[in-house]
């Protein structure tokens, strides 16, 4: 991936987990607004980029999921815009989670994101933990938190790129270089491929199973003569 002119990343996750702040840390500048936006504000997807050691880092910040005061269907429509903004396609989806405030919503976040991007998402995803500075202040390691939380281990298992901890208060470039390295490993594991618009249009496994089940029920009812077919 060192020969790739661009490294295209998409930030996804629920609202108020530090997605935008993480984006600013990765790009080493105030690229995204981190102040809380009014609940009535329309959700938007934004693209920013920055040169980093001879490579252009392209970062797309998507609206936060599961906001109680926003239309989730509109949020999901906005999130799908990330594919065109990261054209020809993102190398990685950074699924952002705050390990210090792991809630029931976080437990189901991967299911929600998979409903948007389909089953291919797992191959191109990496779990990004924010607020690494708080962990340091508490004297805790992310490995300790992972060991104590089975739900968190399950989410990591669904992200083929593993995980990375980001300290938004640390200007050390090492953490960005290490994230770059992990994405490179994922890129190689995927055979040099990135997520594409065609993958987005593929039906998710859940939708396929639901459709198959509905067809099976309908066929069964017709076979039993419960549903009458009018001529």
Q: State the Cα–Cα distance between residues 10 and 195, nearest whole angstrom.
A: 11
- Which residue's structure tokens are 């291919």? 120
Residue 219 lies in a domain: no
Residue 184 lies in a domain: yes
Instruction: Tell me the pLDDT band of 161, cut-offs 50, 70 and 90.
Output: very high
Instruction: Tell me: pLDDT of 231 over 50.
Output: no
Q: What is the maximum alpha-carbon separation in the chain?
A: 73
Residue 212 lies in a domain: no
Residue 128 lies in a domain: yes
Domains: count for the chain = 1
Domain at 197, CATH number: 3.40.50.300
Instruction: Tell me: pLDDT of 17 over 60.
Output: yes
Residue 138 lies in a domain: yes
Residue 225 lies in a domain: no
Average per-residue pLDDT for the chain: 85
Q: Report the SS3 class of residue 58.
A: strand
Supply the pLDDT for residue 103: 82
Instruction: Tell me: pLDDT of 62 over 70.
Output: yes
- Domain region containing 25: 6-204
Q: Is the pTM of this model over 0.75?
A: yes
Instruction: Tell me: pLDDT of 210 over 60.
Output: no
Residue 211 lies in a domain: no
- Per 3-state DSSP, the chain is made up of helix, strand and coil in percentages (nearest 5) of 45, 15, 35
Q: Report the SS3 class of residue 230.
A: coil
């Amino acid at each position: 991936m060192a020969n790739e002119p661009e490294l295209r990343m998409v930030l996804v996750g629920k609202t108020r987990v530090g997605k935008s702040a993480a984006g600013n840390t990765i790009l080493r500048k105030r690229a995204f607004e981190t102040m809380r936006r009014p609940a009535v504000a329309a959700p938007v997807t934004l693209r920013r980029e920055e040169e980093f050691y001879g490579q252009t880092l392209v970062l797309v910040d998507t609206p936060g999921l599961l906001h109680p005061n926003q239309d989730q269907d509109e949020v999901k429509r906005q999130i799908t815009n990330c594919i065109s903004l990261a054209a020809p396609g993102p190398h990685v989806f950074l699924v952002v989670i705050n390990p210090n405030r792991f809630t029931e919503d976080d437990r189901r976040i991967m299911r929600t994101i998979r409903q948007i991007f389909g089953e291919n998402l797992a191959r191109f995803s990496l779990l990004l933990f924010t607020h690494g500075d708080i962990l340091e202040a508490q004297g805790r390691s992310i490995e300790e938190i992972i060991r104590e939380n089975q739900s968190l281990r399950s989410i990591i298992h669904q992200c083929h790129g593993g995980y990375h901890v980001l300290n938004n208060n640390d200007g050390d470039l090492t953490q960005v270089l290490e994230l770059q390295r992990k994405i490179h490993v994922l890129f190689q594991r995927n055979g040099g491929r990135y997520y594409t618009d065609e993958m987005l249009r593929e039906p998710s496994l859940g939708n396929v199973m639901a459709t198959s089940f509905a067809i099976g029920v309908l066929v069964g009812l017709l076979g039993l003569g419960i549903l009458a077919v009018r001529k």
